[in-house]
């Protein structure tokens, strides 16, 4: 089961597993956590169920996204004073550093 990462997710509080973008009660992996929606994250642009399918691919996509400057897929949704490091704390991400 690719569900080993420690994070703050619970029933009413979902985050993008790649970038930590807050999704409220929308779960990109379905209510059972196993049924990906194949939607695109407005922040990091990951396709849920595709590039985030395993913890390894999740980390790989995340690292690539950060290395490329953490650009928004949908820049209109980017909040003022947005801080990628703060957002990534939502998912207690681990890097290879």
Least separation in angstroms between residue 73's CB and Zn ion is 8
Per rule CB under 5 A, is residue 91 in the interface with Zn ion? no
- Cα separations in angstroms, 96 against 48, 80, 88: 22, 29, 14
Nearer to Zn ion, 3 or 74 (CB): 74
The region of 8-16, 24-32, 51-59, 80-88 touching Zn ion under the rule CB under 5 A is: 8-16
Task: Answer for the pair 13, 66: CB distance below 8 angstroms, yes or no.
Answer: no
Contact between 88 and Zn ion per CB under 5 A:
no
Number of residues located near Zn ion, criterion CB under 5 A: 7
Token digits of residue 14: 């979902």
Task: Show the site string, 12-31: x = touches Zn ion by CB under 5 A, - = not.
Answer: ----x-xx-x----------
**Residues of the shown chain interacting with Zn ion in the complex, contacts defined by CB under 5 A:** 16, 18-19, 21, 41, 43-44
């Amino acid at each position: 089961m690719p569900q080993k990462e420690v994070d703050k997710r619970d029933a009413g509080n979902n985050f993008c597993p790649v970038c930590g973008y807050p999704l409220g009660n929308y779960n990109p992996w379905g209510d059972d956590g196993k049924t990906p929606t194949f939607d695109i994250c407005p922040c990091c642009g990951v396709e849920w169920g595709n590039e985030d399918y395993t913890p390894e691919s999740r980390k790989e996509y995340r690292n690539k996204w950060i290395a490329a400057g953490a650009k928004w897929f949908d820049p209109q949704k980017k909040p003022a004073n947005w801080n990628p490091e703060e957002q990534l704390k939502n998912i207690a991400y681990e890097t290879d550093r």
